[in-house]
Structure 1
Amino acid sequence: MRELTLIGIGTGNPDHLTFEGARAIQRAETILIPRKGDQKSDLADLRRQIIDTVAPDCAAKIIEFDLPTRAADGDYLNNVDLWHDAIAEAWKAAAGTAETAALLIWGDPSLYDSSLRIASRLTPYPKIKVIAGITSLQALTAAHAIPINDIGAPFVVATGRQLRDHGWPKDADTAVFMLDGNCAFQTLALADYDIWWGAYLGMENQVIRSGPLADVCADIIETRAQARADHGWIMDAYLLRRRT
């Protein structure tokens, strides 16, 4: 590949795509769509729906490819490193002889997405173009109609793994957590926090919950498990704020 375009597509709602992102899809010569197994086929289908919505006469060659899986056992960071190598090779194999290609990236490539790190492993290194997208952080606060921070106050964005392994972020009153498959918020002193949680944000099947963590913790865990069983996949995020 001579050029690779990473297009932020928001959280799956075609309305989240910017005009710039829509134009990039309309002009693309090759679009790569990863497959994550039959249970997550909706993710590939959603990408195709976005393409059909913004570029119904799209002339791009659409190539689906199987995304490598990450080893579950052993050192986490080493497994991620090897996994990223494998994904870079999968991109190259899928693109074949195409000189330019595009990938549709959930949310925005800048926030808890490794596409840019994976792209850096491509040889020869292509020209990279990034088109910003709406993040789950923005979609979450919009769904609940709340600001993310208090006046003049900082906030932290982290993963569920960080909350589980290291506890509440130091010197923070507000934090947003992503990529949390185990509901790490239940490890906290529930009475000390309020939560704003959402899944499938901005989509037709969006579901949100909010309130004192002690009151809604069990409901969120149950709702999340049922939603994942119903759809075969889930993308969610939540904001926690210390109670004062």
Structure 2
Amino acid sequence: MRTIHVIGIGAGDPDQLTLQAVRALRATDVFFVPDKGEVKTDLVRSRRDLLETHLARGTYRIVEARDPERDREAGGTAYAPAVRDWRGARADVYERLIAEELGEDESGAFLVWGDPALYDSTLGILEEILERGEVAFAYDVVPGISSVSALVARHRTGLNRVARPVQITTGRRLAEGFPEGVDDVVVMLDAHQAFRRYADQDIDIYWGAHLGTPDEILASGPIAEAGPRIERLRAEARERKGWIMDTYLLRRNPGDG
């Protein structure tokens, strides 16, 4: 039976690749690499560089396929259907790649930024393909260093405080309100900088963009002070690259909220 490895490759620093991930790379015949278009060609190049660093030439194949576009303007009740449609389109692409590009006795791999279990769709898409019943395969998962772990490490702070919970959420959810009963909140997938609505509260922000790469940017401090600087840095970084990957930790100080 075909085998698929879902390999977490870290937040961007090639040194964050684990020994388990390297072993999985070396056990792979075909690497499936989504092409997200001209603006994000450096993401494809980074994956290729990673493979060239750890694998001997001629021991593997790379198959690129254009990643379906998602409707990023959809909001409100249209958001969930837009995501479902996008995942379905991605499942169509992945199913074709596995069926047509992977031999019955070969192993393939998807290289996932960060950790495959945290805000990534690959595992869900593979399950959808298996449920369709058109192509059979086994798969395993290699965990990776997430952007969350990289963020707090670069800021030299903990993810949570003693005996206190921490919550991971999205910018869309944060815009609806600060989570109840939690003072430490990690925010991912925030295209609209939802932290700005909390500038009048005693909350510190630890922000990072393009973590682990030569383009890495860090900023921290009270939102009221650091927020405007983050907005400027984020806009400049997006202008340079055409896209941005960032995440941040919000830490509400005692007595506020």
TM-score range for the pair, normalised by the shorter chain length: over 0.9
Shift of residue 228 of structure 1?
1.2
Conserved? CA contact 1:5–1:128, under 8 Å: yes
Conserved? CA contact 1:2–1:126, under 8 Å: yes
Q: CA 1:38 to 1:97, structure 2 compared with 1: closer, same or farther past 3 Å? A: closer
Conserved? CA contact 2:10–2:147, under 8 Å: yes
Work out the percentage of aligned pairs sharing the same amino acid: 39
User: Once structures 1 and 2 are overlaid, which stretch shifts more, 94-103 or 181-190?
Assistant: 94-103
**Structure 1 residue matching 2:220: 3-state secondary structure:** strand
Shift of residue 125 of structure 1?
4.5
Shift of residue 97 of structure 1?
4.1
Amino acid aligned to 1:194: D
Match of 2:108 in 1: 101
Deviations 1:173-201 (Å, cap 9, x if unpaired)?
Answer: 10000011111100124332100000111
Shift of residue 132 of structure 1?
0.5
TM-score by length of 2: 0.90
Q: CA 1:163 to 1:58, structure 2 compared with 1: closer, same or farther past 3 Å? A: farther
Contiguous gaps of at least 5 residues in structure 1: none
Shift of residue 206 of structure 1?
1.1
Match of 1:2 in 2: 2
Give the number of aligned pairs. 243
- Residue 86 of structure 1 pairs with residue 97 of structure 2: no
**Structure 1 residue matching 2:251: 3-state secondary structure:** strand
User: Once structures 1 and 2 are overlaid, which stretch shifts more, 143-152 or 52-61?
Assistant: 52-61
Contiguous gaps of at least 5 residues in structure 2: none
Amino acid aligned to 1:11: A
Once residues 87 and 126 of structure 1 are traced to their aligned partners in structure 2, the CA distance between those partners, rounded to angstroms, is: 17
Matches within 5 A, 1:148-227: 148-164=159-175, 166-227=176-237
Once residues 205 and 58 of structure 2 are traced to their aligned partners in structure 1, the CA distance between those partners, rounded to angstroms, is: 42
**Structure 2 residue matching 1:108: 3-state secondary structure:** coil
Shift of residue 93 of structure 1?
2.2
Conserved? CA contact 1:167–1:188, under 8 Å: no
TM-score by length of 1: 0.95
User: Once structures 1 and 2 are overlaid, which stretch shifts more, 197-206 or 103-112?
Assistant: 197-206
Once residues 97 and 231 of structure 1 are traced to their aligned partners in structure 2, the CA distance between those partners, rounded to angstroms, is: 32
Shift of residue 89 of structure 1?
1.0
RMSD over equivalenced CA pairs, Å? 1.5
- Residue 138 of structure 1 pairs with residue 149 of structure 2: yes
Conserved? CA contact 2:198–2:223, under 8 Å: no
